[in-house]
Amino acid sequence: MTETVHVPLEGRAYDVRIGSDLLGRAGAEIAPLLKRPRVAIVTDLHVAELHLAALTAALKVDGIEAVSLTLPAGESTKGWTQFERTVEWLLEQKVERRDVVVALGGGVIGDLVGFAAAVLRRGVRFVQIPTSLLAQVDSSVGGKTGINAPQGKNLIGAFHQPSLVLADISVLNSLPDRDFLAGYGEVVKYGLLGDAAFFDWQDANAARIRVRDPEALAYAVKRSVEMKAEIVVRDETEQGDRALLNLGHTFCHAFEAATGYSDRLLHGEGVAIGCALAFELSARLGLCSQEDPSRVREMLSAMGMKVRLADIPGDLPDAQTLLDLMGQDKKVIDGQLRFIMARGIGQAFVTSDVPSETVLTLLQDALSER
Ligand code: GLY
């Protein structure tokens, strides 16, 4: 069964389709968008090996011809070199303004290809086919596209909404456990930021999620996408509420920088640890009960996810250095760090009113558990 979440942005509305075997039905799903039966697919080597043949075969069934470009896999692809290569390849393929580009892959491919589509001939339409859990519940929806700069992650980019997102739950079966659980960190984030009942559902269904039960996964992806869509429609360009989607991310970005963006810490793992710390900080500030951070930690542990700084292998810098790294976050405005805090599970809000000393003590305590 396929579920649809509609993203009703005026003039740029689109559907996110969620279900099993969407890859196999990609031709029928994409055909209504096409002015001529031809698409350009951009993917990475790892995803190409697993899913490119299935996608091109599915397009062919509906008479859609596909050309494809396969980029190297990994975060280092998300920079000027592969971006330039992609844009030039799309031009060589004579992709026109009325055509559609397809991004087949995880967050790196979705962000890079979306940005290429945003600037190619001043904007062509694109379809996201996210193949990681993180991309299905977060990066493929909402139109943030871009690449990394030597100065930091995601510093070059544009808001460019996709015309369609096809989230095929069955492709999640090919994910290694670690990537799957990292992506689940973003799912947990949605319950924590705005839907206590969704958090309770996650708690009750941990065992089903761990074995990747398709029905449970489809619900987890659908509810996450619904929540993201609601927030994006309220605040597409992050002037206010969209910052709620960054729950746990200020901590996470500091830990990612401290571990050199290496595989010592995957983004979603940092989000999970960051969410646990954001709740601990909220409790220490008297915003929520002490029971809430305990519940968050218990749920993450039950899923086998990273929860504490002790779960990050290797050395970490001291608390002051971590705090300084938090200060380099994109959410700093006029030198003031904005935090996403919570009044309880499902009740997050944005505030600048967090004393640095409290954060420093929290980080010192978290480091001392190592
Ligand atoms: N990943 C956060 C956002 O889309 O705003």
DSSP code per residue over 187-238: HHHHHHHH-HHHHHHHHHTHHHHHTT-HHHHHHHHHHHHHHHHHHHHH-TT-
164-168 and 125-130 strand pairing: parallel
pLDDT surpassing 70 at residue 333 = no
148, 174, 200 - which closes a domain: 174
Q: Does the active-site annotation cover 154? A: no
Please state, for a pLDDT cut of 70, what percent of the chain lies above it: 98
Is it the case that residue 6 has pLDDT exceeding 80? yes
Per cent of the chain over pLDDT 90 is 94
Q: Are 18 and 225 in contact (CB under 8 A)?
A: yes
In this model, does residue 69 exceed pLDDT 70? yes
Domain of residue 18 covers: 3-174
pLDDT of res. 46: 97
Residue 334 has what pLDDT?
Answer: 66
The CA distance from 276 to 264, in Å, is 18
Cβ atoms of residues 250 and 274 within 8 Å: yes
Q: Where is the domain boundary, 150, 174, 198?
A: 174
pTM: 0.95
| Residues 329/331/335/340 CA torsion (nearest 10 deg) | -100
Active-site pick, 29, 51, 246, 297: 246
Pair (238, 329) in one structural domain? yes
In this predicted structure, the answer to whether residue 329 has a pLDDT above a threshold of 80 is: no
Cα(64)–Cα(57) distance, integer angstroms = 9
Question: In sequence order, what DSSP letters do the residues of 69-136 get, joined into one string?
Answer: EEEPPSGGGSSHHHHHHHHHHHHHTT--TT-EEEEEESHHHHHHHHHHHHHGGG--EEEEEE-SHHII
Tell me the per-residue pLDDT of 83-103, one tens digit each, with 9 for 90 and over. 999 999 999 999 999 999 999
Same domain, 258 and 150: no
Cα of 239 vs centre of ligand 1, distance in Å, is: 12
Token pair in block for residue 113: 């290809």
Say if residue 79 is in the same domain as residue 203.
Answer: no
* Residue-wise pLDDT tens digits, 116-167: 999 999 999 999 999 999 999 999 999 999 999 988 889 999 999 999 999 9
Q: Are residues 141 and 215 in the same domain?
A: no
Residue 330 pLDDT: 60
**Boundary of a domain, candidates 174, 189, 224:** 174
pLDDT, residue 151, reads 82
Residues 15 and 145 in one domain: yes
Q: Do residues 13 and 100 both lie within one domain?
A: yes
- Domain match, 222 and 360 both: yes
**Average pLDDT over every residue of 69-75:** 96
pLDDT of residue 125: 98
Question: Is the pLDDT reported for residue 335 higher than 80?
Answer: no
Same domain, 136 and 185: no
Q: Is the CB of 38 inside a 6 Å radius of any atom of ligand 1?
A: no
Q: How many domains does the chain have?
A: 2
Co-location of 225 and 315 in the same domain: yes
For position 283, which CATH number holds?
A: 1.20.1090.10
**One of 186, 226, 256, 269 is an active-site residue; which one?**
186
Ligand 1 nearest-atom number relative to CA 245:
2
How far is Cα 238 from Cα 185, in angstroms, rounded to an integer? 21
CATH code for the domain in which residue 169 is found: 3.40.50.1970
The reply to whether ligand 1 has any atom less than 6 angstroms from the CB of 242 is yes
Question: Is the confidence at residue 30, as pLDDT, over 80?
Answer: yes
Could you tell me if the CB of 143 is within 6 A of ligand 1?
no
Quick one: 138 and 212 in the same domain? no
Residues 219 and 358 in one domain: yes
Q: Which of 242-246, 260-264, 267-271, 313-317 has the lowest mean pLDDT?
A: 260-264
- Tell me, yes or no, whether 112 and 220 share the same domain: no
